[in-house]
């Protein structure tokens, strides 16, 4: 629908000529992503404002950017900086999945409401919404966002591909998201719906008059491989639609704005946007406001994730982990660095887990305090199994810390861990207290421990973390690394590794926005010299120098730069013949996020996310989003390159500016080996140059493995997933392996035969236990390994959802029983002395699952209710006249949402301006749905409105904006303030 992939939001591909050409920036065309973006940002803003009002604080973003929205939403009173990277990443997950529907389901009528597939299309929407709600309830937000993107594509396509707006409807078809309501007045397969479009293209009036008069619902038939369609039926239209050349020719699609359909395209966009808002509001009602924001990625970026060995010799390590957690919680409370989520994964032998996840810091304190060291008679432990749980359970781009003093027994998981690291872009650091303590450790030699440590170093390097070897006695000095990275705006300036070590000088840029700059060096027998732009130097043996402080513990050097650091080009000269790593970090809201993508063809070409390694021998393509202090306009990007971490190769990419901080980067020749992404630019706010680097290492492969998730799984049933393996190398027997983080039983073919330069398909099955809770997400990793000495491999990481089949589709019902109030005064100074009360009955009906929760929003007051187990739940809401509107939200056990909106009466006093003076007046208004609606009615009645209030003059602009948005035919509203609290608004 409406050009699937968004130019202005980064997923645009402009084709030359043809009916399917995507509209370039600035021509007024709308796309799936622009519609989704507008609705998502509007709903997020609405929820942020509602939460702020309920907490008694202002919600005043300093601008329209995502960065400024996040800062205002999380609360301006909290000290410190907060990054919008997680919010942008969450939005990108939704947008990309939305666009990929045109690749993964290109020939599915139901996914696009083509070919009159209304019942199947609605089933996709309602099943998807059920999955989203179940995932959100279990806090599996990424799986929910991916499903949301696909569902919104199908929902929005209805308004472009059907004749809904042709029939004159200006509001969404509510029955599409209400499976309890019938799909009515559908044109059957034998009913002709269109006349022939003589020129074979698009005509403005091809739908038959009787279809329009009888309000019959139809949609265009679409044939990519066949021109067949029922007699007399409308086509979708366009060069890729073979049915459009068969009478009746033409098409009724409103995907693009053309000369013959400007009004219909605009109407479809408007109604699709409103429908998107309605669906988002339904999810909001099921999630609750705070969880809805977390679902949308609005949360402080700092997340504490600990994976802890609990075997017998780990008591000291557990105590140190407890100390660090307590310090983070207590020291960062009330700041933007306060973690938004805490995750704890214990592991032992043979047991590991469970994963403990909480937003409550006191729960985290209690859980880590309950850990005890016991068991583990032999050396190896289930370290990687615990780490797998953390990688799949934590949000993407988390910092994960592993405490252990033992070798990993489950070393076969290493490649799965690498795949999950690349997929999630999370950073893993190891604290390895391999000091030989404990009898079971003494049974193993130094050589065995060194080999184990190499495994952890490999994983740490792959993720951009550190592998820190330290004695148990010195562990408290090393854990400052965790404190440093517990921030909501952590960025990487530079990261390099050398194995074997050699003398080398590394340069890096420090910009004005960076704070709390720290340099980490791991390795043995190292000397280094740090030099600032002015030429001042400091060596590794100067603990307190002019440039900062140097702390040494185990194999870790930690250099904390002084707060008065100079901006510009710094250098650090390293000298060692032993392997070492170098990492420079800081705190800044200037950052970037990225994804590797590939093009796809079809009626709506675009870009799709690569879930594994990019293809060797082909240019690498990245979609990069840049974040600035005041939005993307506050940064200028100079270049984006791929850089080898263990070498000196830097390969720049060709940049295509897609607008709004989005760039398509094409790197023609990809570096050999492992590489990361490096970005250089200028901070417009301070006019200083900056550099930022990604942490996750990536490489290319000649093997590709792909699979598409087309539905959710059900408890107690077996799920079949087809997959395809392709190769650009020599064919043969490719080894297949698959793992899931829930340990569900799977049947996977051990190998698959692939011809040289060809592809082959296979399938695996997953059996879901009958007692699996609805909303559980399963992370599945499939790996294909090529034959031969090189053992080239690739992987696909998929998220699947387990959802119990829903049988209750009817939302709870609300009945307002009574309202007890006086006429609320319009004068804000007097509102706190008057009160009103609403009484309502809520019920889920005789056959419903019962009401699970009852809350209120759009109102500041107190809500009480009777026992939710009763058939009829009586609710009472009490508020002062300072809060005139309340919305009660009832959620049943099937997560259907019922709402009840009410606004109490208010008496307004106004003065009407006429020639010759001011005439006092009094006018009692009806009860519109909101405070701004009442202002609007009063405003239209008078054409000019004088109001007084005890607030700042800023409220005049807020009311002005509210009035403008209320008008059916928007007209400008002029405003001027006579005093701080008395303003005039005039309708032009």
**CA dist., res. 431 & res. 469, Å (int):** 6
**pLDDT for res 486:** 87
How large is the average pLDDT for residues 85-98? 95
Please tell me the predicted confidence (pLDDT) of residue 961: 47
Q: Does domain 591-693 have CATH number 3.40.1050?
A: no
| Residue range 864-914, pLDDT digits in tens | 999 999 999 999 999 998 888 899 999 999 999 999 898 887 654 443 333
Q: Tell me phi and psi for residue 202, to 5 degrees.
A: -110, 135
The full length of the chain comes to 988
Over 70: is that where the pLDDT of 943 sits?
Answer: no
Provide the H-helix boundaries in 341-463: 361-369, 383-393, 414-424, 439-442, 446-463
**pTM of the complete model beyond 0.85:** yes
Asked whether this chain's domains 703-801 and 813-904 adopt the same fold, the reply is yes
Average pLDDT of 116-121? 98
Rounded-to-integer distance, Cα 947 and Cα 949, Å = 7
Residue 496 tokens, joined? 């390099």
Q: Look at residues 314, 313, 331, 427 and name the one whose alpha carbon lies nearest to residue 368.
A: 314
Q: 813-904 has which fold?
A: Immunoglobulin-like (2.60.40)
Instruction: Grade residue 272 by pLDDT with cuts at 50, 70 and 90.
Output: very high
Number of H helices, E strands in the chain: 19, 45
* Gyration radius of the chain over CA positions: 30
Nearest alpha-carbon partner for 298 in 56, 95, 84: 84
Q: What local confidence, expressed as pLDDT, does residue 409 receive?
A: 86
pLDDT at 439 over 90: no
What is the CATH architecture assignment of 301-488? Answer: 3-Layer(aba) Sandwich (3.40)
CA gap 522, 984 in Å, rounded? 66
The candidate with the shortest Cα–Cα distance to 510, out of 397, 587, 625, is 587
Average pLDDT over residues 37-57: 92
State the DSSP H helix or E strand holding residue 802, giving kind and residue range, or none if neither: none
For residues 161-165, give the mean pLDDT: 97
Q: Shortest CA distance to 481 belongs to which of 558, 544, 541, 398?
A: 558
The DSSP-derived string for 920-947 is EEEEE----SSHHHHHHHHHHHHSEEEE
Q: Give the pLDDT mean for 280-299.
A: 95
- Could you give the CA distance from residue 12 to residue 659 in angstroms, rounded to a whole number? 11
> Options 3.40.50.620, 2.60.40.10, 3.40.50.300, 1.10.3720.10; which CATH number does 703-801 get?
2.60.40.10
Higher pLDDT, residue 21 or 932: 932
- Angle at the Cα of 267 (from 265 to 273), degrees rounded to 5? 100
Fold of 490-588: Jelly Rolls (2.60.120)
Rounded distance, CA 820 to CA 574, Å? 77
Q: Which two tokens stand for residue 355?
A: 């994963």
Q: Give the separation between CA 563 and CA 360, rounded to whole angstroms.
A: 32
Query: What strand order describes the sheet that includes 851-857?
Result: 851-857, 885-892, 897-903
**pLDDT value of residue 260:** 79
> Is residue 988 pLDDT above 50, yes or no?
no
CA distances from 51 to 47, 126, 958, 964 (A): 6, 28, 18, 24
33 is written with which tokens? 């992503």
- pLDDT of 403 strictly over 80: yes
DSSP codes of every residue in 847-878 = TS--EEEEEEES--SEEEE--TTSSEEEEEEE
Cβ neighbourhood burial of 249 (10 Å; 0-12, 13-18, 19+): buried
Listed range (203-207, 771-775, 942-946) with the worst mean pLDDT: 942-946
- Cis (ω within 30 of 0) for the bond into 350? yes
Cis bond before residue 354 (omega within 30° of 0): yes
Summarize pLDDT for 485-495 with one digit per residue, the tens.
888 889 999 99
Q: Is the pLDDT of residue 950 over 80?
A: no
pLDDT for residue 452: 62
Domain ranges across the chain:
33-57+64-295, 301-488, 490-588, 591-693, 703-801, 813-904, 907-987
pLDDT for 661 beyond 60: yes
**What is the tens place of the pLDDT at every residue in 598-620?**
999 888 888 899 999 999 999 99
At residue 557, the pLDDT reads 96
For residue 79, the model assigns a pLDDT of 67
- For residues 277-305, give the mean pLDDT: 94
pLDDT in tens, 682-693: 999 999 999 999
Q: What is the DSSP letter of 247?
A: S
Tell me the pLDDT tens digit for each residue of 496-542. 999 999 999 999 999 999 999 999 999 999 999 999 999 999 999 99
More confident residue, 709 or 941: 709
Q: Residue 277: what pLDDT?
A: 97
Which uninterrupted H or E stretch holds 102? helix 85-104
User: How far apart are alpha carbons 37 and 277 in whole angstroms?
Assistant: 11
217 sits in the region (left: phi over 0; alpha: psi -120 to 50; else beta) called beta
Q: Average pLDDT for residues 619-647, to the nearest whole number?
A: 95
pLDDT band per the 50, 70, 90 thresholds, residue 826 = confident
pLDDT score, position 200: 58
- pLDDT over 70 (residue 952): no
What is the arithmetic mean of pLDDT over 702-718? 96
Residue 64 CB-density burial (10 A; 0-12 exposed, 13-18 middle, 19+ buried): exposed
Helix axes 118-137, 141-161, angle to 10 degrees: 160
- Asked if the model's pLDDT at residue 32 lies above 70, the reply is yes
């Amino acid at each position: 629908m409406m050009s699937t992939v968004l130019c202005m939001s980064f997923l645009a591909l402009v084709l030359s000529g043809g009916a399917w050409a995507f509209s370039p920036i600035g021509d007024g065309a709308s796309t799936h992503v622009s519609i989704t973006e507008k609705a998502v940002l509007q709903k997020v803003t609405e929820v942020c404002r509602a939460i702020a009002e309920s907490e008694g604080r202002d919600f005043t973003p300093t601008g329209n950017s995502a960065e400024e929205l996040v800062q205002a939403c999380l609360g301006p009173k909290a000290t410190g900086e907060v990054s919008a990277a997680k919010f942008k990443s969450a939005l990108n997950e939704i947008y990309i999945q939305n666009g990929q529907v045109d690749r993964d389901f290109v020939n599915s009528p139901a996914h696009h409401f083509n070919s009159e597939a209304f019942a199947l299309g609605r089933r996709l929407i309602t099943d998807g919404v059920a999955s989203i709600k179940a995932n959100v309830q279990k806090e599996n937000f990424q799986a929910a966002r991916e499903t949301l993107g696909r569902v919104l594509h199908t929902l929005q396509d209805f308004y472009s591909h059907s004749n809904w707006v042709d029939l004159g409807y200006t509001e969404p078809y509510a029955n599409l998201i209400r499976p309890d309501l019938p799909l009515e007045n559908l044109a059957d397969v034998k009913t002709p719906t269109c006349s022939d479009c003589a020129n074979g293209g698009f005509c403005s009036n091809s739908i038959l008059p009787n279809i329009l008069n009888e309000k019959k619902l139809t949609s265009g038939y679409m044939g990519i491989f066949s021109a067949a369609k029922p007699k007399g039926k409308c086509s979708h239209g366009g060069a890729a639609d073979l049915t459009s050349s068969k009478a009746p020719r033409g098409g009724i699609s409103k995907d693009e704005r053309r000369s013959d359909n400007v009004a219909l395209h605009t109407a479809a966009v408007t109604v699709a946007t409103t429908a998107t808002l309605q669906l988002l509001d339904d999810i909001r009602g099921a999630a609750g406001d705070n969880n809805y924001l977390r679902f949308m990625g609005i949360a402080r970026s700092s997340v504490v994730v600990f994976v802890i060995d609990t075997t017998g010799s780990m008591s000291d390590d557990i105590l140190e982990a407890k100390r660090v957690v307590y310090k983070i919680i207590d020291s960062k409370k009330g700041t933007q660095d306060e973690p938004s989520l805490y995750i704890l994964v214990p592991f032992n032998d043979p047991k590991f887990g469970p994963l403990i996840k909480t937003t409550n810091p006191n729960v985290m304190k209690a859980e880590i305090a309950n850990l005890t060291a016991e068991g583990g008679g032999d050396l190896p432990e289930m370290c990687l199994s615990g780490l797998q749980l953390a990688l799949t359970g934590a949000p993407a781009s988390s910092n994960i810390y592993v405490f252990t003093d033992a070798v990993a027994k489950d070393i076969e998981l290493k490649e799965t861990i690498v795949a999950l690291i690349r997929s999630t872009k999370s950073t893993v650091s190891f604290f390895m207290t391999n000091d030989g303590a404990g009898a079971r450790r003494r049974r193993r030699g130094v050589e065995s421990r060194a080999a184990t440590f190499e495994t952890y170093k490999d994983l740490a390097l792959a993720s951009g973390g550190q592998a820190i070897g330290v004695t148990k006695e010195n562990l408290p000095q090393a854990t400052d690394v965790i404190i440093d990275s517990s921030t909501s705006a952590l960025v990487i300036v530079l990261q390099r590794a050398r194995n074997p070590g050699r003398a080398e000088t590394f340069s890096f840029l420090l910009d004005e926005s960076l704070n709390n700059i720290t340099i980490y060096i791991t390795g043995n027998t190292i000397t280094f010299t740090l030099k600032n732009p002015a030429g001042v130097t400091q060596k590794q043996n100067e603990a307190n120098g002019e440039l900062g402080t140097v702390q040494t513990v185990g194999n870790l050097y930690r250099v904390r730069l002084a707060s008065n650091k100079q901006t510009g080009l710094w250098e650090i000269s390293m000298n060692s013949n032993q392997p070492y790593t170098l990492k420079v970090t800081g705190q800044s809201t200037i950052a970037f996020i990225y994804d590797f993508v590939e093009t796809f063809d079809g009626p709506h070409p675009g870009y799709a996310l690569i879930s594994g390694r990019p293809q060797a021998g082909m240019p690498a393509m990245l979609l990069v989003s840049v974040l600035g202090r005041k939005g993307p306009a506050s940064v200028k990007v100079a270049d984006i390159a791929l850089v080898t971490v263990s070498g000196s190769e830097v390969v720049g990419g060709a940049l295509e500016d897609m607008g709004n901080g989005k760039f398509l980067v094409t790197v023609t020749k990809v570096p050999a080996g492992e590489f990361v992404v490096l970005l250089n630019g200028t901070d417009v706010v301070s006019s200083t140059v900056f550099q930022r680097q990604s942490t996750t290492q990536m490489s290319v492969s000649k093997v590709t493995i792909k699979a598409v998730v087309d539905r959710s799984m059900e408890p107690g049933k077996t799920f079949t997933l087809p997959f395809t393996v392709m190769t650009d190398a020599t064919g043969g027997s490719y080894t297949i392996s698959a793992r899931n983080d829930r340990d569900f039983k799977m049947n996977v073919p051990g190998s698959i035969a692939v011809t040289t330069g060809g592809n082959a398909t296979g399938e695996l099955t997953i059996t879901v236990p009958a007692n699996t809770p609805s909303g559980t997400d399963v992370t599945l990793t499939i790996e294909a390994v090529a034959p031969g000495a090189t053992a080239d491999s690739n992987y696909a990481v998929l998220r699947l959802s387990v959802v119990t089949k829903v049988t209750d589709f009817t939302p709870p019902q609300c009945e307002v029983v009574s309202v007890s109030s006086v006429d609320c005064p319009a004068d804000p100074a007097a509102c706190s002395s008057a009160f009103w009360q609403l009484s309502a009955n809520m019920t889920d009906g005789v056959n419903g699952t019962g009401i699970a929760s009852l809350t209120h929003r759009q109102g500041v007051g107190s809500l009480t209710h009777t026992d939710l187990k009763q058939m009829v739940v009586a609710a009472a809401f009490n508020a002062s006249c300072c809060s005139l509107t309340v919305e009660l939200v009832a959620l049943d056990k099937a997560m259907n949402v019922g709402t009840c909106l009410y606004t109490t009466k208010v008496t307004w006093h106004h003065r009407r301006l006429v020639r010759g003076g001011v005439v006092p007046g009094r006018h009692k208004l009806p009860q519109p749905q909101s405070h701004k609606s009442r202002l609007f009615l009063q405003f239209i009645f008078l054409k000019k409105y004088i109001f007084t209030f005890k607030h700042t003059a800023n409220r005049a602009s807020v009311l002005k904006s509210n009035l403008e948005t209320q008008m059916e035919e928007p007209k400008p509203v002029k405003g001027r303030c006579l005093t701080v609290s008395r303003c005039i608004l005039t309708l032009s």
